[in-house]
């Protein structure tokens, strides 16, 4: 599968993705923000747009639908609960469904509530191996989505702990926004001795602003993202969260720790 990432320069720093399965000659756009650059890209490649998938119903993940549907009439997939909320979405998808599928690869739908209750992610599987995950507003580089526009932090905690914690280290992360620098600083505000996060900040500072973005695997994300530390937080992290929230880490409730972290990030 060929993966193209577009930084949209939107106020919320959105990413749009184009995926092409050359085996079947079909093309998908995930979360199109602006139809104009996508159309230009497709014209340069000489490709049609066969499918759109919107990870969830927020307008910054769907605003390109109208222009692309007028031009290409693609099938528009979304969570069943988002049909009627997302412009032109007609085809509901559920956990385990496969799209852009051929013999060697496909995208598998994950049902991932929490940021909203109509949120799906896409897992790229090639030759039987999980290669990458497109996470919309569920998981970001060094962070997770907020829950105050139609979601719930405890539900997002369950989604991340049950579906992303066990995911293989080599899976690449393709999020819906770039909040890398801010999220790393949040991690370090709570876990200042996190070596991997300190190194990641150094790397971040070498990137050209709004030009270069990381493609991290989950091995790194599990170290630099505090929301991945809910089962085994460092002593620093446990103490900082206790100082700020009055709640102690409880090994029996990593979800509770996740919710505390999310509340701190909301105010940060
Ligand atoms: Zn959103």
- Taking CB atoms within 8 Å and a gap of at least 24, the contacts of 205-210 are 210/7, 210/9
Q: Is 61 labeled as ligand-binding?
A: yes
Could you give the count of Cα atoms lying within 13 Å of 9 in the half-sphere of its Cβ?
4
Residue 95 reports pLDDT greater than 90: yes
Quick: pLDDT tens for 197-211.
Answer: 999 999 999 999 999
Backbone angles phi, psi at 177, to 5 degrees: -145, 160
Cα of 37 from ligand 1 centre, angstroms: 21
Positive or negative torsion for Cα 53, 58, 64, 68: positive
Quick: pLDDT tens for 139-177.
Answer: 999 999 999 999 999 999 999 999 999 999 999 999 999
Residues above pLDDT 70, as percent of the chain: 100
Burial classification of residue 212, based on how many CB atoms lie within 10 Å of its CB (0-12 exposed, 13-18 middle, 19 or more buried):
exposed
Mean pLDDT of all residues in the chain?
97
Q: Is 137 labeled as ligand-binding?
A: yes
pLDDT computed for residue 110 by the predictor:
98
Average pLDDT over residues 16-38: 97
Supply the Cα-derived Rg of the chain in whole angstroms.
Answer: 18
Residues 133/83/151/158 CA torsion (nearest 10 deg): -50
pLDDT computed for residue 236 by the predictor:
87
Quick: pLDDT tens for 38-57.
Answer: 999 999 999 999 999 999 99
Helix (H) / strand (E) containing 246: none
* pLDDT band (50, 70, 90) for residue 265: very high
Q: Is 79 labeled as ligand-binding?
A: no
Q: Where are the beta strands (DSSP E) in 22-83?
A: 26-30, 51-53, 75-78
Q: Is 58 labeled as ligand-binding?
A: yes
Quick: pLDDT tens for 168-191.
Answer: 999 999 999 999 999 999 999 999
């Amino acid at each position: 599968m060929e993966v193209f990432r577009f930084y949209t320069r939107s106020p919320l720093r959105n990413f749009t993705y184009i995926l092409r399965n050359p085996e079947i000659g079909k093309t998908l756009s995930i979360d199109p923000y602006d139809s104009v650059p996508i159309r230009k890209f497709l014209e340069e490649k000489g490709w049609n747009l066969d499918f759109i998938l919107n990870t969830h119903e927020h307008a910054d993940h769907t605003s390109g639908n109208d222009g692309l549907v007028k031009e290409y009439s693609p099938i528009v997939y979304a969570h069943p609960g988002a049909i009627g909320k997302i412009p032109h979405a007609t085809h509901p998808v559920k956990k385990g469904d496969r799209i852009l599928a051929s013999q060697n690869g496909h995208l598998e739908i994950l049902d991932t509530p929490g940021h909203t209750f109509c949120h799906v992610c896409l897992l790229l599987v090639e030759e039987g191996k999980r290669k990458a995950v497109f996470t919309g507003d569920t998981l970001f580089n060094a962070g997770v989505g907020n829950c105050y526009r139609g979601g719930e932090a405890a539900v997002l905690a369950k989604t991340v702990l049950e579906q992303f914690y066990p995911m293989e280290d080599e899976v690449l992360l393709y999020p819906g926004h770039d909040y890398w620098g801010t999220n790393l600083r949040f991690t370090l505000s709570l876990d200042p001795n996190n070596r991997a996060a300190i190194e990641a900040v150094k790397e971040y500072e070498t990137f050209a602003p709004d030009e270069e973005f990381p493609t991290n695997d989950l091995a790194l994300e599990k170290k630099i993202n505090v929301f991945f530390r809910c089962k085994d937080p460092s002593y620093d992290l446990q103490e900082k969260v206790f100082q700020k929230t009055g709640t102690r880490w409880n090994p029996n409730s990593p979800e509770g720790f996740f919710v505390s972290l999310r509340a701190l990030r909301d105010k940060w």
